[in-house]
Amino acid sequence: MSERQGYVVWLTGLSGAGKTTIAEALAERLRAVGQRVEVLDGDVVRQHFSKGLGFSREDRLENIRRVAYVAHLLARNGVAVLVALISPYREGREYARNLIGDFLEVYVKCPIEVLVQRDVKGLYAKALRGEVANFTGISDPYEEPLAPDLVLETDRESLEESVARLWSALAQRGYVPDSVPSGDGRR
């Protein structure tokens, strides 16, 4: 694997499915093997370079376009980019794939019932009561990927299992060595 080869892992799924948790755990392991890594988290992105965008379909697609452009720039400069973004529309994810090229779409899948139980912020409860408009998966659509490169079912597998499966998918593409380092930087 070339040290300069960048790529994008695009983690899509509903709020609370585990996208950011998986991205952060993977980032730690990638750094342990000497890769330059950036995590583009949906919440952080919204605060910084998508501030002012709402939650209409067009605004959500614009958010995805902006994130895809930044991810593309980073990847072409040798960075492993981990995008943790709901990205509810297939059209937006396809745009990202076409722009970026070295792209792995990962569907972080979790049933809505489990997400409601996990919901520490109470957002699902509010959305179910009609108090939050345009909430993806409740009052706004989420278009599941039709042919993702990998599906991680976070209600059925541990964080370690998800990261190991994702590492294996990256190794098959030549982005990482075959063996996954432990979470503390040791092999």
| Catalytic residue numbers, as ranges | 87
Contacts of 170-177 with C-beta under 8 Å, sequence gap 24+, read: 170/7, 170/9, 170/104, 173/7, 173/104, 174/1, 174/5, 175/1, 175/5, 175/7, 175/80, 175/102, 176/1, 176/30, 176/33, 176/35, 177/1, 177/33
Instruction: Output the CA torsion 136→51→38→68 (10° steps).
Output: 70
CB 38 within 8 Å of CB 141: no
Under DSSP, is residue 154 helix (H, G, I), strand (E, B) or coil? Answer: coil
